Structure 1
């Protein structure tokens, strides 16, 4: 798999070493996007599905053949290679907001308490409440599909905190209120669409087209990346789902999938130690599931050492070194390579041109090769973005839309809790009517603890729900 070239030779990234993971780094405008594109095309040609994020809006050109512009021909002449065999690649576009891609969703239950707390940027106390909510949902077999389910169960737990304290610990109204405020802000930012059904089926990311090329899945992340905790949390959830769902396969000649993680620094910024430990664990173990990961960021210093040590294949584009912090980053980047006696790595990093890179790939024995100064090979599909009409046309023909484009709202925690309350209120009303015809001296039945919990929840799962239930009981038309 020829990836780069210099005067001495072509340089190959060995497919059997892809699951040792990789790192693409460099300053803004240094050529990282083209490197992602070249690698994704090569992986697709080998029949390997690819998942990547289009953060800047310039990675949708896979669906159009490349064009030999004058500037591009000059670049090829400078690099010393001929024109590539221009072609297109099977591509599926995704978009959490459902605008320029099929909706990509998950459910609250699938996201789990840890990632949910990460998304909402909760403190330790609030995260404990979230864990309690998930435990109650699991114990009572309540599905948490979307935000309204989560809010309903939050209110239920808060209203019945006295009864729940023995099994689940203390639940404070202040912490519940703080979480609900975070959820309100989250919803106002338009991110509620992230949760719901149909949820993403990871198997749909692992397919090839009829020509045996691996499908390139492009997530439109221009808007999503403006919310770093959601962007990084959602992608981490995807990685963990791949790890949980795939079988152990050991060392493969070709990985089952390559997962690019652009703007990788967003994962690690302000991540608590327990989350970093879990990320490190997934990175170490997911290779045995046949998944290769390439992190993309500006500097190797953006990645914790424990994770950096797991990334065997390196592509380093130019770095600027105007400040002491930037100079330190250059030294860190240089030290991450196996030295080449032909040049000083730290010096060359600051002198690379656009499209040039320092590379070090693993050999057949899994040992990093000495660093080389190279030009990245040219891409075969269009550099830059495709227009909106082309993307929408591609979406109509990719056979994914029929599964994901229409949202489904099936019965879950919100509806089940509401039905419980309606049932209990109806029973209470019938009991009141019945008691009018019974002896005044007859002892009134005492509510069980479960009766009290369900009744008290009537006023606690949202004012709109409360009004709907009361109006229904009083015989007026209920509003949904």
Structure 2
């Protein structure tokens, strides 16, 4: 219940107020099951809302949604008003808070999504339960994606990226380190488990813009952002890593504001033990760093858990505003926890804190808040106020109305978007690579065919050359034969001519002999006639 610049949380020997100016110093609400932690959370959250401070609350059991409805006077509340708080029942006003219901698994509520890249390798490795070696491989996959400009939005992007790095591990070993196929296979199997738990809905776009959680309603009351975590808490690592992502994102994105008059935002981390169970040291150190420094961003963080021992000592030391409900101590180990919890308070001489923790009933607690100087107040054994909102879960119709009223946010986050990212880019690269391989194979085949063609052409040219040579040789031989024939023919003709000449010569000689003989004889006759005067034949 808001009282000026402070929230009236409980009443002991004196009122217990949570000062808004000290509310970003973080806090703890602890106690065994059934001791009233949820009621304390509601009283505190509605006080911040009334002060204009937006709040985030994870609704693990489904009863936080009652903050959307106004509470009602009951005999129990009337009795507490009169006996414990000095309030006249008729002066008590009941009203609900402005509520926004979010659902990371696509149920009844405004969808909440986060991208794989935003989650980062460290938180994602924790979510997947990876070993140190597998975590190292996941770091390499994220680094390659960043260097290649590949967006990791949903799980199919991460799966495609894992396969891509595995296929090209030889190229990345020198630059990034060794990538074993066994580690990649283990990560792929872990991704299947996360998908089965709703990770395929949780990872994606449009991703959550935390500015939408820093809003106030028209009356100036901060919105109570209720995360429907009844299903997601069944997968504790997904739940814890989502809340831790939110916390780290707040730390990284919000500007420094120092010590404001009131927080800019208050973050309630219910079932806090889920965050710290089996927490790797490196991640645990990061959580301690965030818790220590985020108060300067104007953010108050309140852990809700059953026992203070669920929270590491370094974190517990930062939780200055404490409401410790009853603890059960049946074993020596549990008794030790009780003593440690009691010792963390500034002692009140009027009672034994350790004994009180085991005796106080439901709705009662040991309370210590910071005063104006930032000093823890003396612990009070007090009764926690009742919330002005409904104690139990809200009626389904009221919740549906609260979701419907946020039509602008449903329009922004209601429909998932699957834009081009690593999955499509890698498939495109694979297609280009396959096309390049096909073209290279075609080039090799063409070169082979060209080589065979050139070889065959060379053989044909060689055969043609041989045939030309044979033809030339044949022609030459034919020419030689023809020349030989012509020579022989000439010789024959020569011999014929010579024989003819010889016959002519012989004929001439014979003819000449005949003529000469006749001439001689004629001459002789002429000579005789001449002498004797008579012709003699």
Please report the TM-score for the alignment, with normalisation by the length of structure 2.
Answer: 0.80
1:191 Cα deviation after fit: 2.5
Give yes or no for contact 2:9–2:44 (8 Å, CA) kept in 1.
no
Kindly report which structure 2 residues correspond to 1:318-397, keeping only aligned pairs within 5 A, or say none: 318-397=326-405
Structure 2 equivalent of residue 409 of structure 1: 418
1:74 Cα deviation after fit: 2.7
Structure 2 equivalent of residue 228 of structure 1: 236
Give yes or no for contact 1:49–1:256 (8 Å, CA) kept in 2.
yes
C-alpha deviations, 1:393-421, integer Å up to 9, x for none? Answer: 21011232111111000000000011112
Structure 1 equivalent of residue 13 of structure 2: 8
Kindly report which structure 2 residues correspond to 1:54-453, keeping only aligned pairs within 5 A, or say none: 54-80=59-85, 81-83=87-89, 84-398=92-406, 399-433=408-442, 440=449
**Larger Rg over CA atoms:** 2
Structure 1 equivalent of residue 28 of structure 2: 23
C-alpha deviations, 1:275-308, integer Å up to 9, x for none? Answer: 1111000000001111000011111111111111
> 1:346 & 1:50 partners in 2: Cα distance?
32
1:389 Cα deviation after fit: 2.4
Equivalent residue pairs, number: 443
Structure 2 equivalent of residue 468 of structure 1: none
Give yes or no for contact 1:100–1:388 (8 Å, CA) kept in 2.
no
C-alpha deviations, 1:310-350, integer Å up to 9, x for none? Answer: 11101011111112222111101101100011111101111
Of structures 1 and 2, the one with the larger relative CO (CA 8 A, separation 6+) is 1
Using the TM superposition, name which of 68-77 and 376-385 deviates more.
Answer: 68-77
C-alpha deviations, 1:178-206, integer Å up to 9, x for none? Answer: 11111111112222211000001011111
Root-mean-square deviation over aligned CA pairs:
1.6
Q: Would the alpha carbon gap of residues 358 and 137 (structure 1) be closer, same or farther in structure 2, given more than 3 Å must change?
A: same
C-alpha deviations, 1:137-176, integer Å up to 9, x for none? Answer: 0000000000000000100111111111111111111111
Give yes or no for contact 2:54–2:264 (8 Å, CA) kept in 1.
yes
Give yes or no for contact 1:2–1:377 (8 Å, CA) kept in 2.
no
Using the TM superposition, name which of 3-12 and 399-408 deviates more.
Answer: 3-12
1:71 Cα deviation after fit: 2.9
Give yes or no for contact 1:23–1:295 (8 Å, CA) kept in 2.
yes
1:435 Cα deviation after fit: 6.1
1:437 Cα deviation after fit: 5.7
Helix, strand or coil: the match of 2:386? coil
Using the TM superposition, name which of 389-398 and 70-79 deviates more.
Answer: 70-79
> 1:223 & 1:188 partners in 2: Cα distance?
13
Q: Would the alpha carbon gap of residues 436 and 308 (structure 1) be closer, same or farther in structure 2, given more than 3 Å must change?
A: closer
1:238 Cα deviation after fit: 0.5
1:8 Cα deviation after fit: 3.4
Gaps of 5+ in 1: 444-480
Please report the TM-score for the alignment, with normalisation by the length of structure 1.
Answer: 0.89
> 1:103 & 1:372 partners in 2: Cα distance?
41
Using the TM superposition, name which of 73-82 and 175-184 deviates more.
Answer: 73-82
1:235 Cα deviation after fit: 0.6
Helix, strand or coil: the match of 2:267? strand
Give yes or no for contact 2:357–2:366 (8 Å, CA) kept in 1.
yes
1:439 Cα deviation after fit: 7.1
Gaps of 5+ in 2: 1-5, 453-537
The structure richer in helix per residue is 2
1:105 Cα deviation after fit: 0.9
